[in-house]
Structure 1
Amino acid sequence: MKKRAIVVGAGIVGLATARKLALKGYAVEVIERSEAAQGASVRNFGMVWPIGQPKGQLYERALKSRVIWKEVAEKANIWHGEVGSLHMAYLPEELAVLEEFAAQNPQYTIKKPEEIESEAVVKKNLKAALWSDEELIVDPREAIAKIPLYLRESFGVKFHWNTAVAEVVHPRVKLANGRTIEADFIVVCSGADFETLYPELFQKANITKCKLQMMRLVSQPNEWTIGPALCGGLTLVHYEAFKQTASHAALQHWYHNNHPEYLRWGLNVMVSQNGSGELTIGDSHEYGNNLSPFNQEFIDQMILDYLATFADFRDWTIASRWHGIYPKMTDGSTEIIMTPEDGVLVINGLGGAGMTMSFGLAEEKLETI
């Protein structure tokens, strides 16, 4: 008889966990409080982003995730674009970071402005761009909706939608409706909900919440595409991989002196395009456990204004605006794994790298259970 496993949460961390447990031979049930996942897993760029991870275990984890994403996307009929990325440099300080980073990581290439094919890239004052072929794009709304169907059909994973979990006491999971379900192994992947399950553990953990504002533009006319995912200099400020360069401090100093408002609101301006031609743009970063439910228009405008310095599109019409909230470690950790009792695992705190890291993390952490 198969061992039974319960996964709490059907976001990307929960789905990656369910997949790995099913591959290990468990009979898996996933419990999700909403009719479909509605949190940060569907409110992001859909970027699988190895280039943002520092060399070593994290970078290798991201590459492993990419391999799994491609496999899952093909089997689940999920659109995915192996489009790569371009990081543009318009400042000498940005160029210095790109050139040093490329020297340290020969898998990436520095392109001159005349070598860039994307019609969306602003060429005026462009010094160079960093090209990577590693980045993969999905539409998170489509992907997070289709993966449960794939897991059910391929592995027999059972999903309980519109079902809130009130308490976990191994081997029992108590539901808000009074029912209980039992399993040999329980994994809690509750995202930014620190209040429902094991709140005392989250209160002691070095973890907080991050709010980001994002927008989506309409499908571009005549199937026009931007090609790779596009980024400006703020992305070099944001990602840990680029912070490993000696020249990074000068770039950080330039933005601190010239645009402190970008740093104040954590701007990291990027754009990705989905299979329907829509452009997802963002984002900002506000931290704390008491985040406002209201978006701030000036943040959206800062994002749009900065985006226009390195990208131009055929149609800038905004189709939708939203914000997402995800868990973020405050001590520099890239995730938190807790064992509140025998037979129970809590996986959380992946920050803004959930789409990039979840499949690889599940492979690592659940292989030996």
Structure 2
Amino acid sequence: MLRHLLQLTWKRKSRNLMLSLEILLAFAIVFGIAAFGLRFWQLYREPIGFDGTDAWSAAMQFSDVPADAISPDTYDLLRRSLLELPEVRAVGFATHSPYTLSTWTTSFKSPQTGARVDTDTIEVSDDVAAALGVHLVAGRWFDATDEGRSELPAVLNRRMAAALFPGRPALGQRFTSAEDGPPRTYRVVGLVDAFRNKGPFMTPTNFVIARFAPHTSQSRVRTILLKVAPGTPRAFEAKLNQRLKAVRNDWSYEIAPLASMRASLLKEQLVPLAVVAVIAAFMLVMVAFGLFGVLWQNTTHRIPEIGLRRALGASAASIYRQIVFEQLLLCSLAIAAALVLLVQLPLTGALGETLNWQVFAGAVLLSMAVIYLLSLACSLYPGWRASRLAPAAALHYE
């Protein structure tokens, strides 16, 4: 039967060409949406490297004051003042807060090859690990014993450790900065599995966490990270702002719980996916109408053929199966052509990690299921209509 269906499909190749192209386009659309959604789901399930439960962020805003003009004692005064609040458990400082789109990109030199390795970087104080709940997989976090050392302590994620020290354990290794100015030497004191400060949908990157010490660091950070008691209400924001104003009344502060910052960022990042999904759904509906119309027209043109088959003894069920199987065969050929084109994306790495093989395989399976169901649904009524034709009426059709 398959050979017979292939012969019929080939003989009507000119008529089936536009239908095949329509199915191919629909498959590509569904594949794109499925790959986009699966990549989001894949990223969401990966670890981000910190907990963030019961953590708050307070961004210090002082546009008219240079960052390097902040006195080192100001940080100590802020920390001691905030720890006096009964709700506060830990206070740390960082260049930027998690769940924002802030990025600090820099380069370091590999000690083995001398090659530059680009990476995202953040500077944090010793108490940030307690404030955020950072998950170390090896080594230790920064502490007071690192003060005054010629080699600056650093915590790397696994990806950065593999890039700087391929095939070697990273703990205790040294690397240098590759930016303009005098080179600085760093020593790896700890490792994290990942650190994705932009949230669950951030693409994994190289990441270096450097130590910030107010009295020795060249930079000046502008974000306060706090660990508060469980169940602290949102009304704590006013109390926190009042305490910060008591230390520096000439600054303003943008205060928010990390939980609300995470929710806002996820909502913002999911908007493009929702918009694309709505557009894709509308296009699939249009494709379904097109497929149904073409199948209806093709069935009408084949009424004499169907009548002849019925007169020769073909059952209504066999006519029904023929119409449905022909459509599924045509759908399979269009999908095969689409796969030949789409498989080039992961093979060439054109989209990098965004379209890895897991995402590609999942998107292919989902797209095939959707297109086959769509084709089947569009062929059921034309097939039923053709099977209900009486042989005499079909043979007299003009």
Which interval holds the TM-score relative to the shorter structure? under 0.3
Higher strand share: 1
TM-score of the pair, normalised by structure 2: 0.21
Higher helix share: 2
